[in-house]
Structures are given as structure tokens and as C-alpha cells.
Structure 1
Amino acid sequence: MDYESKSLERLVVFDCDIGSDDAWALAMLLRGEELSLPEGRRYKLAAITCVQGNTDLENGAQNALRILKLLNRQDVPVFKGCANPIIPRTWRDTSRFHGIDGFKDVGNYPEVNDLQGQLQQEHAVNAMYRLACLHPKQVDFLLCGPLTNFANCINLYGDGFLEKIGGVLIMGGNIYGRGNIMKCAEFNFMMDPEAAHTTLERVREPPLILPWEPSIDEDFHLTLDWRLNVLGSVDHPFVELLTRVERTMMVPRGIKKWLNPDAALAATYLFPEAMIAEQLEYHATVELCGVHTRGQMVLDHLRGRRVDTIHGKKNNVRIITHLNREPFRTIIAWTGFLPQADISKLCSSNMTETK
């Protein structure tokens, strides 16, 4: 089911493992509520559900509350979900790219202990199911972390959940076997391969997936210099915090490109026609047993060249293969309160930049 074709009034569940990348996506979704999007679409962020990933569950929930406070949005409920993958990992991510707390341990965070009632007692998996039941076909899921919460909701509630969900958008996986945490696996899928496999096998309508490689395409990335010295010049506490975080993460490593696939997925939800240069349909699954390839998303490139009785698999995903850079620059600049960022043309048209 194509989320663009459904009811114009949408609810969004943002499932995340908040580091700086998810934080930008969250801010974009919050600001996007103000907009009248192309074709009159509007939405409301109904819940933030947290999962282990960039940091542990507790730090991720605290980071969500910190971003909400900086943006003065203490009305949005936050739910803690799964602290561990479906099957315990036999390896450990030792890169600490996001530090221990997800924000590279830069400190001087806004105080959030005084917030009353924003951090919910209900488990994120149960909240996902409850919202889908209360608003059948109206809740869209933006999944920017490991898919543990979403897959456990499928496992726990089955068709009672799957038949009620709206659109599903996933940042994760890869299309050319290029990894960013293992040699052949993307971080979100590798952090819980069984959850990724379950999601792709069970979701009834093809989800829209933004894999790792389009985010690092030379035709898409923005420079770190622009991020830190242009967007980073904005005098706003949200931008100031994330600039400190990303400067600490990236400059010592000699990184020159600013990559943010989570924010790119959020931008695609807001402005799909402007953001997506190319998308293709495939049958996809996730490798669970490979010695070198566990966690890799595997696409069937032979689909259409075999007779159906031999092949037997239908396309189950829509894969974004190329993104448009300039619309993303405009959207992220607007998200970060850059004064000269003008998003009005994107709101009033369905213009698509050609690759």
C-alpha cells in the first residue's frame, strides 16, 4: 500500500535509537506538522518509540526527551521499547561512533528529569499496536533504528497488527552489499537481523526502504563544512547541541561528508516526489546464517527473468536507489532554522529534480 494514496490526515510513529542522525529526523517531523504538504497531506507525530541501537534504551529515551525539550514539544509521548535484539548478539559494536550516550558524551544537556508524564509506562510494542487499533490504516511507521520493536509487535499481535497499519518506511539494509558496521551489513539490520528478516517477510504491503548506499552517493551527500559552519551558525539550542555532537564525532576522524540517512527518510516522508530520484521494486530478504554476510539485505535481481512457477516470489519492497540532494539541503536547512531556507516551493509543487 502506498502511504501517499491514503487518507490525507495521518498519524506517525517514529521508531528510533536516538543519536544525532535520528535527532535531525525527529526535529524535521516535528516541524513538518506545521506544513501543508503537497497534495494537501497533513500528519501529527503520535509517538516516539525507542529501541536499542546507537546507544542503549535508557540513553535513547533520555535523548528523545532532550530534543523535545529543546524544541518545546513536551506534548509528544515517548515510549521505551526493546533493550535487546530478538537473538542475543555474539559480537559487540566497539566503534562507539556515537559515544556511550548517543550524543558522543558531550554533556551540558537540557534537564529533563522535571518532565511529568511524557515518558510513558506503556511498552513501545504495545503502544504501536494500540495506536494501530485505535486508528486503522491511518498510522504510518517511520523506522530509523533496528527493527526490534516493530518485528516484536508483528510476532506478538500478528495479523491483528499487520492488517491495521498504514505506511511503513525503513532506513536500513543495503543493495550492493556495502556495509557500514560489518563488511556486508548496514548497522540497523545488523543490530537485529532476525527483526529485519521478520519485517520484510511479514509486512503485507511493500515498505519503502532507504538503504545505506544511496545516502553515501556522491550525488547526494552534503559537506561537513556546510553542516558545521553554515547550518551550524544558527543560534538555536537544538542546532547548538547537535553541532557540538557532530563536530566531536566527525572532525577528529577526518570526515568531510555529512551523511544523514535518517533525516533523508524523514524528508522523503514529507516530500516524496521531490526527494526520490529513483525507486525500484524487488523481492528482498535478510541473510541470517552467512559467516561474512549475516545482516545483509539480499535483493533478487533475477526477478522477471524466470518463469513464475520456478521463482514463486513476488516483490515485497520498494527500494529507493537514488535521492535528490538540493531538496534535501533545503529541507534540512529549514529544519535547522537557517533564515534563508525557503521551503514554500516544495510545499506548493511536486517538482522532481532529475538525476
Structure 2
Amino acid sequence: MNDRQKVIIDCDPGIDDSLALMLALTSPELEVVGITTVSGNVPSDMGAKNALKILNHLDRLDIPVYQGASLPLKRDYVDAMDTHGKDGLGESYLPEVSGVPIHDNAIEFINQTLADNPNLTIIALGPLTNIALAHQAQPDVWNNCTRFVSMGGNFKSFGNCSPVAEYNYWCDPDAANYVYQHLPVKIEMIGLDVTRKIVLTPNILELIHQVNPEQADFIRKITRFYFDFHWKYEKVIGCVINDPLAVAYTIFPELCTGFDSHAEIETKGISIGQSVVDEMNFWHKPVNSHILTEVNNLRFMQIFLQRTCSINSELLEKILPQLISEE
């Protein structure tokens, strides 16, 4: 009996998206049936090529890649290549993958996969444009979506592209709000409140290097730009890796805790993209989301390093508490 979760990963690779793909494809609990890309960190066509580069690194070019929406629903598109580099992978300029097709029908793929699979999980790591378009096209098939995990938004944490907004929802706020108001399943919001606690540090990279130098070289290559960005703008020694937490939480929901709420995403004005979470139920509207607020960052890093870098659990239990604060 196959009890693996069938998942689609909708993403915008992107440095941390790439690390999330690495975690997903080294996790036996997940069966990744396809990767769809959306314009966010990078344009969707570049994201699709980057997804192939990561699949090639993992020797998993059997996973199909589908290019999706190139523009947000209404607002002008603003990429995040200042954060992820001109190639989206930290200006590592990994070689292009040839001989493997990139399909151009992400919306159709999402809906057909939902129609064919009554227990499908979707992990959305970028703006929610593809998801909104897919639901608008065939809302009925979305009853087969049993879990929807979104890396995006923020509750009490400050924004990362405006004082109040997280980038994925800010990039396409109309799509984000549509998804929150229309999906028949609760959105599990992995926002900045929890992802900001997931930091890849130089010491952790050194640990990887000591055990798995080849993987350490690859991760260093794609994250060096990200390290520099975080130091320049946030004075963080290391880099926040948002997206892998969404994958880890999908497999191990106990990693994060939070609460159910109604939430809406602001679509205009100076607070565009803000996640407005009605924790106190002022609006008396139906619950449409599960807002994650706390994370076991030590346990996350154990999972991430054990799976993506083949570091044994005994060593991690001994070394990681020296490198990571659980505060």
C-alpha cells in the first residue's frame, strides 16, 4: 500500500524554493507528481529552468515541470532578483539542462491532477497566481485538495518588502485574497512569524562541509548571494530559508503551532499585500486559514540536514544544539 502524500509544488525558484525542492525530493513521505512555476522571485520561465537545474542536481529529471502565469492578476509584476540574483540562484549560473521539456500548461496540469487524485496536497511557495487561475477555471475539482500549505503572509512579524507585507502575497495580492476567500480547504499559512526563525548560518554550512562536502559546495554556491543580501539589509549572519519550512511542516505538522482564523489579504493602498488576520473574530466570518506562529527550529534543521545532506541523526543531535538557539 502506498501511503505517500501526492503533492504538487507550485513555486518560483528562487534560492529557498530550490532548497525546498531538495527537501521534498529527499522525503519518502511525499510523492511529488509535478512542479509548477509562477512569476515571483523570478519570471516563471526562468523559474522553470531553475527547477530543472535542481532536479538535475538531484538526478530527478523524471519529475515534470510546468510553466505557469507570467504576470499577476492585476498589478504590475515586480520580481525579487535583487534578493535571489540575476539568475535566481544566487548568480551561481548553473549549467542549463537540455533535452528535457518544460510544459507550458501549469493551470491545466493542476486541475487535471486534482480531478484524478481525490487526496492531493498542494504546497505553494510563491505568489498564488497559478492557484487563483486554476480555481477560477475549474472550481469543482478543488474539492479534491485535502491540504493547501502556503509559504506567505505574516501575522505579527513585520514585512519583508513593505512595512506590513510578505513578498509572495504582496507580489500578487489579488490572487492571494482570491485564494483565501474561495478555496474549499483551509489555507495553512507558513508566514514570516515562523520562517524568520529558520536561518542557515555559516556554522551550519561548515557542518555540512565536514560531512558532505559536495552538497556543501552546491548549497554554498546558490546561497552566497543570499547571505550577502541578508547582511546588507538585515545585518543577519546567515540567510533565512523560508520555503523549506513549508515542506517540512507538510510532512510533520507538529513542527509548528498556531490557530484557526479568518484572514484576508489587502489588495490596495499603502498596506497592499498585508495579511489581515482576525484573531479576535471581530468580523464573525468563517474560518478560512490556519495561521502558524511558533516553530521548533532545531527539529526543523535536524530534518533538513538529515535528508538533504545525509547527515546522521546521532551527529545532528549532538552538534546542532551548539549551533542553533531555540529562542
- Structure 2: unaligned runs, 5 residues or longer: 318-325
Contact 1:174/1:213 (CA < 8 Å) preserved in 2?
yes
Q: CA deviation at 1:205?
A: 2.2
Contact 1:239/1:336 (CA < 8 Å) preserved in 2?
no
Letter in 2 for 1:106: S
Where 1:31 maps in the other structure, the secondary structure is coil
Partner of 1:261: 242
Note the alpha carbon deviations across 1:204-225, whole angstroms, 9 max, x for none: 2212111112222xxx334522
The 3 A distance-change label for structure 1 pair 112 and 238 is: farther
Contact 2:13/2:51 (CA < 8 Å) preserved in 1?
yes
Distance 2:247 2:84 in 1: 20
1:176-325 to 2 correspondence within 5 Å? Answer: 176=156, 178-216=158-196, 220-222=197-199, 224-233=201-210, 235=212, 239-251=216-228, 254=231, 255-273=236-254, 275-276=255-256, 278-290=257-269, 292-303=270-281, 311-325=283-297
Letter in 2 for 1:215: T
Partner of 2:37: 50
2:150 counterpart of 1:170: yes
The 3 A distance-change label for structure 1 pair 247 and 227 is: farther
Where 1:120 maps in the other structure, the secondary structure is coil
2:84 corresponds to which of 98, 102, 105: 98
Q: CA deviation at 1:228?
A: 2.7
Partner of 1:113: 98
Partner of 1:25: 20
Contact 1:334/1:343 (CA < 8 Å) preserved in 2?
no
2:54 counterpart of 1:67: yes
Note the alpha carbon deviations across 1:257-309, whole angstroms, 9 max, x for none: 43112101111112112x12x2101110011122x200000011331xx6xxx
Moved more, 232-241 or 314-323: 232-241
Note the alpha carbon deviations across 1:229-256, whole angstroms, 9 max, x for none: 2224554655423311212331365231
Contact 1:225/1:256 (CA < 8 Å) preserved in 2?
yes
Distance 1:178 1:252 in 2: 18
2:73 counterpart of 1:86: yes
Letter in 1 for 2:222: V
Distance 2:292 2:143 in 1: 24
Distance 1:9 1:92 in 2: 36
2:11 counterpart of 1:16: yes
Contact 1:231/1:338 (CA < 8 Å) preserved in 2?
no
Letter in 2 for 1:293: S
The 3 A distance-change label for structure 1 pair 293 and 227 is: same
Partner of 2:323: none
The 3 A distance-change label for structure 1 pair 63 and 157 is: same
Distance 2:51 2:293 in 1: 29
Work out the percentage of aligned pairs sharing the same amino acid. Answer: 26
Q: How many residues align?
A: 314
Distance 1:65 1:209 in 2: 27
Contact 1:214/1:320 (CA < 8 Å) preserved in 2?
yes
Q: How does the TM-score come out when normalised to structure 2?
A: 0.88
Contact 1:60/1:101 (CA < 8 Å) preserved in 2?
no
The 3 A distance-change label for structure 1 pair 32 and 183 is: same
The 3 A distance-change label for structure 1 pair 92 and 78 is: closer
Contact 2:265/2:274 (CA < 8 Å) preserved in 1?
yes
Q: How does the TM-score come out when normalised to structure 1?
A: 0.82
Distance 1:198 1:236 in 2: 44
Greater percentage in helix: 2
Moved more, 44-53 or 175-184: 175-184
2:114 counterpart of 1:132: yes
Distance 1:344 1:11 in 2: 29
Letter in 1 for 2:9: F
Q: What's the RMSD between the two structures over aligned residues?
A: 2.4
Distance 1:98 1:272 in 2: 28
Note the alpha carbon deviations across 1:300-350, whole angstroms, 9 max, x for none: 1331xx6xxxx44121100111000121111111133243345999xxxxx
Letter in 1 for 2:7: V
Note the alpha carbon deviations across 1:74-101, whole angstroms, 9 max, x for none: 1100000001100132x74577111122
Q: CA deviation at 1:9?
A: 3.9
